Structure 1
Amino acid sequence: MKNKLILILSLVFSLFMLILFIVYLIKDDSSRWQVALGGIAVSALPLFMLFVKKNPFSVLIYISYYIFLFCTTCLGSILSFYMKYKWWDSTLHFYKGLLMGFIAISLFKFLVPVRSQRDVSKWIPFIFIFSLAVTASVIWEIYEFTGDLFFTHTMQRGGNRDTMYDLLCGTAGGLLTAIYFSIKTKKPG
């Protein structure tokens, strides 16, 4: 079931982005066809999970991932929501922080055996979840900077201020997820 969903979501989104790529390539809209091309690449990433023996991620995480891709590539960049709505960028960075936090929870549960999870300090998963979300935010900002440096020149229009807001929002999303997991798994006594 999960593998079939990954395949369907990846193929549908890739096909959609391929159509946008062709349309904007014909229109000679380099900014948009580059986004569509990038969308094809990132929509295929979950396909690698079809080749692992045990997939640690839930269906909800994959659906959330494609919602994020749609909101960033199609709505944000191609339909210019980043320019039309000041709150769009910050909201997506917050959402990404939440998503990365839940990915970290899945990885923690996958990597640490259940019998060992009881004996692990509550701070270990908290720090792991928070750190993964913050690291993802930093890597995303490096991606934006590099993309602006070599390609689009549109991802960091606000410069340092935009970068700091993005990092704060991603960090807040990760912190919220880490707190949620800590409360949810609170040890009795």
Structure 2
Amino acid sequence: MKGKDRWNDLFELAMYVLAGGCFVYFLVKGNGAKVFQAVLIVAVLQLIRLLVKWTKTTMFTTLRFCVLLFIFVTMFLANEFGYYGVIPYLDKMEHLFSGVILCFIGLMIYSKATRQPEGTEPPSSQVAVWLCLFFSIAMAGVWEIFEFATDHLFGLNSQNGSLLDTMTDIICGTCGAIITTGYLALKARKRALPLVDVR
């Protein structure tokens, strides 16, 4: 394990163990939907690892922790353990937090796409800020398209059959994106450095 990423490795390992426990428990209980959810959690964790390896991208420690925490909250607490009915507005908090994560993913993409040889002029931090903002907002819309498609194809109820729910989710994701890009812009201005160095 890498020193600074050791806790993330342990966190991810704990989620595999918990998913395995949920799989066995709900299999015994005969709850097929929860069993599928446990399998889906493992699949998502593995997919992230494959994407990182395939794109040869290094996910910095804070971003990896945020992604793992997001998976834990959305897939374990909300879906597997049914906390949507326990924590008010949990869905909206998830969309707000997703706006933050997607900004940092946009930053990571920008950093990889504009990697410069050592000693050359760094890319524009202003472009990075705008890309992070637009990427995050666009992905909020893409997610709602995905929910709409799965609701109509598989008879699910992710959007509660409501335009209000859809638009509120997009607004929450956009607010998270605006707050994060404001923070990134402020940090870049104080340092007078490109945002690709943000950790």
TM (norm. structure 2) is 0.78
Residue in 2 that maps onto 1:78? 80
Distance in 1 (alpha carbons) for counterparts of 2:173 and 2:156: 22
Does the 8 A contact of 1:7 with 1:47 survive in 2?
no
In the alignment, which residue of structure 1 is the partner of 2:26? Answer: 24
Aligned positions of 1:153-172 closer than 5 A: 153-157=156-160, 159-172=162-175
Distance between the aligned counterparts of 2:109 and 2:133, measured in 1?
Answer: 13
What does the per-residue CA deviation read over 1:120-176, in whole Å, with 9 as the maximum and x for residues that have no partner?
371x21221012211221232233234434557242225221111111111111121
Structure-to-structure mapping, 1:98-117, within 5 angstroms: 98-113=100-115, 115-117=120-122
Distance 1:86 1:158, change over 3 A: farther
In the alignment, does 2:191 pair up with 1:178?
Answer: no
Q: Extract unaligned runs of 5+ from structure 2.
A: 194-199
**Structure 1 residue 91 displacement after superposition:** 0.6
Q: List per-residue Cα deviations over 1:17-38 (Å, max 9, x = no partner).
A: 1321232233222332232222
Distance 1:144-1:18 versus aligned 2 partners, 3 A rule:
farther
8 Å Cα contact 2:52-2:59 kept in structure 1: no
- Kindly state the Cα deviation for residue 109 of structure 1 after the two structures are TM-superposed: 2.5
Amino acid at match of 1:47: R
Q: What is the RMSD of the two structures over their aligned residues, measured on CA atoms?
A: 2.8
1:31-180 equivalent positions in 2, closer than 5 A:
31-48=33-50, 51=53, 55-113=57-115, 115-118=120-123, 120=124, 122=126, 124-151=127-154, 153-157=156-160, 159-180=162-183
Mean alpha-carbon deviation: is it higher for 153-162 or for 174-183? 153-162
| Structure 2 Cα separation of the partners of residues 7 and 52 of structure 1 | 19
Q: Secondary structure at the match of 2:89?
A: helix
AA aligned opposite 2:166: T
Aligned in 2, Cα 1:109/1:116: closer, same or farther, shift over 3 Å? farther
In structure 1, runs of 5+ residues without a counterpart are: none
**Identical-residue share of aligned pairs (%):** 22
Q: 1:50 to 1:90 in 2, by over 3 A?
A: closer
- Determine if contact 1:100/1:132 at 8 Å carries over to the other structure: yes
Change in Cα spacing, 1:142 to 1:28, as seen in structure 2 (3 Å) is: farther
What secondary structure does 1:185 align onto? Answer: helix
CA distance in 2, matches of 1:83, 1:152: 21
Q: SS in structure 2 opposite 1:174?
A: helix
CA distance in 2, matches of 1:42, 1:145: 20
TM-score, normalised with respect to structure 1: 0.82
SS in 2 for 1:93: helix
* Count of paired positions: 186
1:85 CA drift (Å): 2.7
